[in-house]
Structure 1
Amino acid sequence: MNAVFGVIFHFIGGFASGSFYVPYKKVKGWSWESMWILGGLFSWIIVPPIAAILTIPNFLEIIRDTNNSILGYTFLFGLLWGIGGLTYGLGVRYLGVSLGSSIILGLSMVFGSLMPSIYYFFNRTEGKHGIDYFFTTHSGICILIGLLVCVLGVFLCGKAGVSKEKHLSALSAESKSDYNFGLGIVVAIISGILSACFNFGIEAGKPMADVANTLWKTSNPNQGEFLYQNNVTYIVILWGGFVTNFLWCLYLLFKNRTFGDYTKSDVPKAKNFLLCAIAGTTWYLQFFFYGMGESRLGNGASSWILHMAFIILISNAWGVVLKEWKGVDRSTYRSIIGGIVTIIISICIVGFAKTLEN
């Protein structure tokens, strides 16, 4: 049952992440940097401490008592992930929700799932799998197959994106104004690699989660692992992410002279603010539920692959719903649908792999 609940929690988290950008697309009259930093305040500064207070009341004490080296590495990975996060927004802007998310999250899935296992191969740690796990155990081989199948799904989505560019003249004026495959693909590659640093940050900050888990299990014996143990680690990771995004958006606000967006009289300010708040809060919920899924499946490759796969799946589904593929030929449409179906198959394979461990 742990595997089943773990997959369900990862689906909810993936749905939140795959859906968070949708409210941003409804913001009117504001620049990208204006809405991104406002939503980010909810994602990185406001909502995470609220979630931590509700689930780990003494989280500040845990952070205060943590070794500075652990805090430093966790914060550093947050900084690097922050670059991936802000370029994610640009990638989605230039490539669309479905294609942008597919490429970025596909790369993040591969790097985020395999790089920690390479580290643990040379630095053996109890409860962690080295890269050899994927070649010497039935469960590991099954997870690797699921990863490869998901990469195939990402390839099909990318193929559809290239074909989409050829049919750009058939797209809506709004899509055409932002769509830029050349610039978007460069941004997406950078974002995909650095976005994997969030998983590295979770690994680096695991001692904080372990303290929260131990305290909870002491008060709640024989009730399994603490569902919300990672909420304390997220605080430090997201501090790093906030610094990167805040500095970049501040630069853009000065460069583009868009500070005035918040005082424009001809835009729906209250509605824009609410949409950004919803987007930012929804974004954070992905990791809130990721932590719950990780507590059931373990913070290994399977958790990260499932998380990324569900995000890619939901993002592409939104792309279809939002008619980002309207006007393309049947071959292109079949590619995007084929990519979605392939990713669903990969999710089933990875989910099944966890049952082989028991």
Structure 2
Amino acid sequence: MGAILGVIFHAIGGFGAGSFYIPFKQVKSWSWESSWFILGLSAWLVVPLVTAWFTIPDLWQVLTTADASVRGWTYFFGLLWGIGGLTFGLSMRYLGVSLGMTIALGLCTAFGTLIPPIFKGTFTELLQTNSGIITLSGILICLIGIAVVGYAGAQKEKETKSVTDDEFNLSKGLIVATLSGLLSACFAFGLEAGSPIADLAFSKGASDLFKNNAVLVWILWGGMTTNGIYCLYLNRKNQTAGDYNNANTPLSKNYLWAALGGLTWYLQFFFYGMGTTFLGENLEFASWSIHMAFIIFFSNLWGILYKEWVGASRKTMWVLALGLTIVMVSILMIGLANTITH
């Protein structure tokens, strides 16, 4: 039952990550950097602190008394994760939205899932249990499904001609997507590095379900640092700092929609922490794979709903459906693997 709840929580988190751009698109007459900065303040600064305040007893003590090296590494991985988010946009520029998103998230899935057990030296142990073998098989199937979705995206780009020859650059795109995938996976590494902070929160009386909220604060501070500096740099470079008080734009609605987009984004982290708890310590590494798979699944469903696939052939749509089905099968495999005792 715990594994099933873990998958459900990851599904809610994946829905948040795959849906945050819906309210974000309602921001009008602002530059991207201004909109993204307000979203970031909400997603990576305000909401994490408020959530942690209500779920972690003695929050400030937990955040400041953990070992300095633990806090440093957790924040550092947050910085790298923030850079990964910025390079994510470049991968879509060179490869197109569908292909770029799928390749970047696919690589992020592989890196974020496999590197932690390899780094801890527990990877070979997974090959000695039925649950571990099923989990690794599910991850492999997940990557196959992501590749199929990526192929559908590539076909869609060709058929709709949404990427010009001048923009499309396969070699640059693959390099940037690899960098984005590796750095974005640092979020999973940050959770691993910050586990002593979660343990401290638990010792102070935090629920096992919410203890990771304290770790999220340090990780997301790192992400806010890199994204905030970049957005403010663009504000200065593009002379768009006036967006924040421009009376000729719908200021109240823009702040509201951007903040709502940030809240929706944060849901992925909140429920990700809950999902890892229910999956169990032995197969906690599989959480990242499930999380990424749900993001890909829901983001593509939103793409269909918003008619981003208009112009694609029926064959391409069947390939997309096949890829999403494979992804869902892999999720079920990984989730059910934890019900096997050996």
Q: Which runs of 5+ in 1 are unaligned?
A: 122-129, 218-224
Closer, same or farther in 2 for the Cα pair 1:251/1:286, shift >3 Å? same
Among 297, 304, 324, the residue aligned to 2:279: 297
Deviation at 1:238, TM superposition (A): 1.0
> Pairwise CA RMSD of aligned residues?
2.2
Q: Does 1:142 align with 2:106?
A: no
Q: How far has the Cα of 1:280 moved from its partner?
A: 0.6
Where does residue 268 of structure 2 map in the other structure? 286
Structure 1, residues 82-133: CA drift from partner, whole Å, max 9, x if none?
1012233555677676544422221111101111111111xxxxxxxx1113
Report the AA paired with residue 191 of structure 1.
S
Distance (Å, rounded) in 1 between the aligned partners of 2:93 and 2:328: 25
Task: Spell out the pairing of 1:13-32 with structure 2 (5 A cutoff).
Answer: 13-32=13-32
Distance 1:240 1:286, change over 3 A: same
Q: CA deviation at 1:201?
A: 0.5
- Structure 1 residue 309 corresponds to structure 2 residue 293: yes
Cα separation, 2, equivalents of 1:339 and 1:27: 32
TM-score, length of structure 1 as denominator length: 0.88
In 1, Cα distance between the equivalents of 2:305 and 2:71?
A: 41
* C-alpha separation in 1, matches of 2:102 and 2:82: 19
CA contact (8 A) 2:99 2:151 kept: no
1:221 aligns to what? Answer: none
Which range moves more in the overlay, 267-276 or 147-156? 267-276
**Which residue type is aligned with residue 129 of structure 2?**
T
The CA deviation string for residues 178-229 of structure 1, in whole angstroms up to 9 with x for no partner, is x954366554332211010011011111001011223327xxxxxxx61000
The question of whether the paired residues in 1 share the 8 Å contact of 2:57 and 2:201 is answered with: no
Normalised to the residue count of structure 2, the TM-score between the two structures is 0.91
- Residues 252-296 of structure 1, C-alpha deviations (whole Å, 9 max, x = no match): 112222223334454322222211111111111111111111111
Specify every segment of 5 or more residues in structure 2 that has no aligned partner in the other structure, as ranges.
none
How far, CA to CA, are the matches of 2:265 and 2:157 in structure 1?
28
**Does residue 331 of structure 1 match 2:315?**
yes
Answer whether contact 1:112 1:200 (CA < 8 A) is retained. yes
Q: Which amino acid counterpart does residue 152 of structure 1 have in structure 2?
A: I
Q: Does 1:35 align with 2:35?
A: yes
Partner residue of 1:154 out of 137, 146, 150? 146
- Cα deviations across residues 283-340 of structure 1 (Å, max 9, x unaligned)? 1111111111111113522222111111111111111111111111122222222211
Q: What is the total number of aligned residue pairs between the two structures?
A: 337
Q: Contact 2:142/2:293 (CA < 8 Å) preserved in 1?
A: yes
How much has 1:168 moved relative to structure 2? Answer: 3.0
CA separation of 1:39 and 1:89: change in aligned 2, threshold 3 A: farther
Distance of 1:313 and 1:98 partners within structure 2: 12
